[in-house]
Amino acid sequence: MKRILTSSEMYLCDRTEIESRTPSRELMRRAARACADGIIRVLHDMPGLPSAPVAVLCGSGNNGGDGLLCARLLNEDGVPACAVTAFGDGAVLSPECEYRYDELIASGTPMLSSAQFLQNLDDPDACPYCAVVDALFGIGLSHEPEGVFAALIDAANAYTTRHGIPAFALDIASGISADTGEVSMHTFRATHTLAISHAKRGHVLYPGAVYTGALSVLDIGIADDVLSAADDDMPVFMLTDADVRALLPAREPDSNKGSNGRVLIAAGSETMCGAALLSALAAYRSGAGLVEIFTAEQNRTPLLTRLPEAIVTTCSFADPAGAAERLALSLSRADAVVVGPGLGQSAAARALVHTVLTEARCPTVIDADALNLLAADGVPSSVSSVPRIMTPHPGEMSRLMGLSVAALTQEPFLHAADLARRLGCVVNAKNARSVITDGRRTYLNPTGTCALAKGGSGDVLTGITATLCAQGCDALTAAALAAYLHGCAAESVTARMGVRAPLASEIADEIGAVLAGFDG
């Protein structure tokens, strides 16, 4: 499980490592060595690149020091490289950068001024470099790149794009905020980012993720154990494939439909059966033993036509009290419940949501219209003893919190955690990078594509989430795993169909193949 750091957390790790275990120059040597090795691996895997040198753009801080040493190590390893200095004579360098600069001069490593480098890129047909490396700022950038830095970034972006050559960022691409993922007007567009020690939030959050390219996290021996004692904020983690394999509930060879979880889906009004279908399909595809759909009577035939495996229990939306009474019977048999998809906001829908919230004694996934009804009626302040998972998209989150979507986007971790703590539940704040939290521990989901930006995707997610709850996962684990698997299914379908065409049902159908990959 990977921890994703803010810039201040990373500085704390660095400082503690330097003060207690490893001198700063040794730490920089490890970082530069790991970066050089990462560059060499990529170049060796790309036959046909021009046999020109690697240009390493170096700033005046410690990230620039990493770049200067990286250029020297590349040359020593037989990979021609030149250091491009973004600073002139008399510039103030950080102590470590100054040390590496003097070391570079003594080694005879080729070095260019910024003006010389920019002049070499003037000919649009020439390709004087086989790759460009960004070591201008690192995680400490707090302002818009300007002057020579902006000119170098813009020229490097145009050059690497025109010639289709690799663009490496050491630690983080210049112009990305390490904490928020916000980008500057002049931001280096990396094809590969070599993150030193830990991934940073800006690598994963959009729009920074677009400029990060393929992310590799390089271990240079810095432990993050110091963070647990010094955190002011919640730790943020990112699941890996290995974590998913370890956390997925086992499917025993002698299991039966009862032991693999019974999921109840209270969804679908008189004119909206699709959401119920998608949620139920995803529940079955993710391994539920039994799926019961509780819905309006008008939905019975279309649901059984499309999904004959489902148990369909219906009610009359004209009789809210009778509908609630029938739902209570179904709740008594369930191992996990979904409420809200396609339910509408009628009196019957309100009665069904109230029944689930008051009668359910098993984990409950609250989505879509159930969230809208909660927002309209006032979010309850009492904390439930039953595990609950809320899965709002930005608009639903805005209504629940009484905040603008823009405000929520600026502080996604803060607001998701606030809602989770207020309600004593798990919140999956869905977005291009979903934030999943119980208010104490937080996951940022790294999987998925914009193919999920389509109606029905959230309904698929609820079915996966409820199944994992029904099979014994705690609420936070179920929500984080479901988001990860949902994103993997989208990535798999996108690889075949692109990002425009996939339907939510096709992503649901892909869940089986994704799970088979983790079970294998």
Rounded-to-integer distance, Cα 308 and Cα 3, Å? 43
What residues have CB less than 8 Å from 14, skipping those under 6 apart? 27, 197, 222
3-class SS of residue 271: coil
Rounded-to-integer distance, Cα 514 and Cα 473, Å? 18
What residues have CB less than 8 Å from 227, skipping those under 6 apart? 3, 5, 9, 12, 13, 235
3-class SS of residue 281: helix
- The per-residue pLDDT for 141 is 87
Q: What is the 3-state secondary structure (H, E, C) of 332-376?
A: CCCCEEEECCCCCCCHHHHHHHHHHHHHCCCCEEECHHHHHHHHH
What residues have CB less than 8 Å from 107, skipping those under 6 apart? 72, 75
What residues have CB less than 8 Å from 229, skipping those under 6 apart? none
What residues have CB less than 8 Å from 390, skipping those under 6 apart? 366, 367, 371, 400, 419, 423, 425, 426, 427, 428
Q: What is the 3-state secondary structure (H, E, C) of 408-457?
A: HHHCHHHHHHHHHHHHCCEEEECCCCCEEECCCCEEECCCCCHHHCCCCH
Would you mind telling me the total number of residues written for the chain in this entry? 520
Rounded-to-integer distance, Cα 201 and Cα 475, Å? 24
* Residues forming a β-bridge with 497: none
pLDDT per residue as tens digits for the range 26-45:
999 999 999 999 999 999 99
Which domains are seen in the chain, by residue range? 2-232 (3.40.50.10260), 253-375+384-519 (3.40.1190.20)
- The per-residue pLDDT for 377 is 87
Are 464 and 486 contacting, i.e. CB atoms less than 8 angstroms apart?
Answer: yes
- The per-residue pLDDT for 382 is 61
- The per-residue pLDDT for 379 is 67
pLDDT per residue as tens digits for the range 191-232:
999 999 999 999 999 999 999 999 999 999 987 776 765 555
DSSP H or E stretch at residue 377: helix 368-377
Q: Tell me which residue of 389, 302, 377 sits closest to 339, measured CA to CA.
A: 389
- The per-residue pLDDT for 230 is 52
Tokens of residue 181, six digits: 């993922």
pLDDT < 70 positions in the chain: 226, 228-233, 379-383
Supply the pTM of this predicted model: 0.93
DSSP assignments along 176-220, one per residue: B-TTT--B-SS----SEEEEESSEEHHHHSTTHHHHH-EEEEEP-
